[in-house]
Chain A
Amino acid sequence: MRCGSPHSSSDAFPRIACAVSVRSCREIAPAVYEIVVDRAPASGFPDGTGRAGVPAPEPGQFYMLRARPSAVLLGRPISVYLSDESSITFLILKKGRGTAELCGLRAGDALDLVGPIGNRFVPPAELAGGAYADGRTVPPNPRVALIGGGIGVAPVAGFSLSLPAASFDFYASFRTAPYGLDRVSGRAASVFVTTEDGSAGVRGMLPAVFEPSLYDLVYACGPTPMLRYVKETCAAPTGPSGAGPIAFLSLEEHMACGAGACLGCTVRTVNGNRRCCVDGPVFDSSEVLL
């Protein structure tokens, strides 16, 4: 039932559920907060596990986060932006009550964390020069585009840090002021920014700058309409070779458990229902029905 393309590992990563301490939390753009947490479980909480720490995330994975104390019931799925040996950094868009609580945390506060959860962005190096699914192949030196829309820029920007410098182009689309690009700018071959209000980069949205025929592999995270565009434009035949790029989309759904148990985050695909949390969040665009 969970057959699928090679990128869809089914929850093979170790996870932890514990409280961790906030190192810093600051607003980096209107309603967008950068929050850094310790990977060591916080002491002084009854569920401090004593385990070594939160397992390191792979690019594309996420955690369920909830402030402590919290007036909401469930954690919120938040993608990893950056991580190192001792900390994990998230970008959070203040949207509802749960994210407002998280964005209101201060250094020294605690939050509940479960994760890392989900599959990952499979790096170009693992796909290069090989056969992919459905008879598609990836050339030895694939041309790579990374695309982030709004808060979806976080996991893609994080992923870019694991790729060789200048081995990819980066596209970032925002309504207004861009964020999350500090570490991308120096490493991407080219960075293309769009804003709907024209306050930075090209005025408009992703289609104003993105040309799928230039790429063999595309990795995208952002709002559903943008991902739908990426899916469709990458599926359209380009040039004499016929097929467009292979595109991987990181999806977002409402979630309850983040463990693959509740079936609340179901994603419809050509292979039947998949769970966004543990079968995703990264799906082959040709597989997912948006």
Chain B
Amino acid sequence: MSDMMNALPPSSRPAGLSDLSVGIAGVRFSNPVIAASGTFGYGTEYGHIIDVAALGGICSKGLTLDPKPGNTGLRLVETPSGLINSIGLENPGIPHFVEHELPAMLGLGPVVLANLSGSTMETYVEGAALLDATAVPMIELNISCPNVKAGGMAWGLDCAAAGAITAAVRKATKKPLVVKLSPNAPHLVDVAKAVVASGADALSLVNTFQAFAVDIERGRPVFDNVTAGLSGPAVKPLALRMVRDVVLGVGECNPSRAGSAGFIPVIGLGGIACWRDAVEFIMTGASAVQVGTATFANPRAMEEIIAGLSAFMARKGYRDVAGMRGVAL
């Protein structure tokens, strides 16, 4: 490592450790690594295994106004370098979350994002109002869950629907609002534009890819809900390309706008499993990243990504994340 450091021009040599902190819509994260929704429970589940306080942020499990039991039947199928899930937004409902899960979650240290899902516009708006009355610093609006019959991803496939739901939730809360987009939208950049125009403060992309699996012994779909969501390393190159499309296609999301009013940062996710993957997303214009499936495979994945990012930035002389953001565009 010292050889590589010496190879850098003196001006780019770090004086000390690189600054990993990032600001997203006015909220400060100690580092750009966030646990993705649905993969980290409410943050406390992994407290026995890793140092949860070291994370930049934690997205809650997808929350709906009323409790949801989730889908019946088999919920998980592993594929080559991927995982198909059909959880179906199993959650205790927002009132229960606010009373029983959120207080402990807020005490963990990382920035908490409440992942808000729903079926009808009314349930989204009512859920947003309940979250608005809490101390949660940020809301991630989930219009991209592929595993529920009503609502969910349906809101995120179409520009008009995505804009309408974002505008309605925007009215219901003053909290910084991240909108989580679906890779299954036929025109993702247009959906991103609609969401930005309707009041999103940041975007996160992408949620899982709609997938299908067959039980060949029984000659029928594996999942009771028929289709399900694919995540994991298999989707990373696709997700990365979609982040690129959005930061290049939506003016407000372009890193060249960073620092100016109206900049809408992008949080990249999809198959990130190691620090190199995280660097790729940041170099493609993401201000932060989310890690999900990798945590299942390796509970220490996010700790390793943070350490790896820090070492890489020091080696390359990046003083902060912004200096690396979008350099590959």
Contact = CB atoms under 8 A, between A and B. Distances in A.
Interface of A: 1, 11, 13-17, 46-47, 66, 71-75, 98, 112, 114, 254-266, 272-273, 278
Contacts of A278: 45
Interface stretch (B68-76, B126-134, B137-145): B68-76
Given A16-B49, A74-B78, A254-B75, A114 B299 contact: yes
Given A47-B304, A255-B76, A259-B299, A264 B49 contact: no
Instruction: Give the interface size class of chain B.
Output: 35 or more
21 contacts: A13-B48, A17-B299, A72-B78, A73-B81, A73-B293, A73-B297, A74-B297, A98-B78, A256-B85, A256-B293, A259-B45, A259-B46, A259-B299, A261-B40, A261-B45, A262-B38, A262-B76, A262-B87, A265-B75, A266-B70, A266-B90
Given A17-B298, A112-B298, A114-B299, A273 B46 contact: no
Contacts of B49: 15-17, 114, 259
B103 to A, nearest CB: 15
Interface in B269-327: 293, 295-300, 304
B90 A263 contact: yes
Nearest to B38: A262
Contact of B75 (A11, A13, A16, A264): A264
B257 interface: no
A33 B129 CA distance: 55
A137 B82 CA distance: 47
A209 B90 CA distance: 41
A262 B92 CA distance: 14
Contacts of A46: 304
Contact of B39 (A15, A112, A255, A257): A257
A223 B41 CA distance: 29
- Nearest 6 pairs of A and B residues by beta carbon: A261-B41, A264-B76, A256-B296, A261-B45, A17-B299, A260-B45
Contact of A262 (B74, B85, B232, B300): B85
Contacts of A17: 49-50, 298-300
Contacts, number: 97
Given A11-B45, A112-B298, 17 more contacts: A1-B92, A1-B100, A47-B304, A66-B297, A71-B80, A73-B83, A73-B296, A98-B78, A254-B74, A254-B75, A254-B76, A256-B83, A260-B41, A266-B70, A266-B75, A272-B69, A278-B45
B55 to A, nearest CB: 13
A74 B83 CA distance: 9
B171 interface: no
Contacts of A260: 41, 45
Contacts of A265: 75-76
Contact of A263 (B70, B80, B233): B70
A71 B81 CA distance: 8
Given A16-B49, A259-B49, A47 B300 contact: yes
Contacts of A13: 48
A263 B69 contact: no
Contacts of A264: 75-76, 85, 87
A73 B82 contact: yes
B229 to A, nearest CB: 12
Contacts of B220: none
B86 to A, nearest CB: 9
A214 to B, nearest CB: 36
Contacts of B70: 263, 266, 273
A148 B80 CA distance: 32
Contacts of B295: 257, 261
A118 to B, nearest CB: 12
B180 interface: no
A153 B294 CA distance: 32
B39 A261 contact: yes
B59 to A, nearest CB: 12
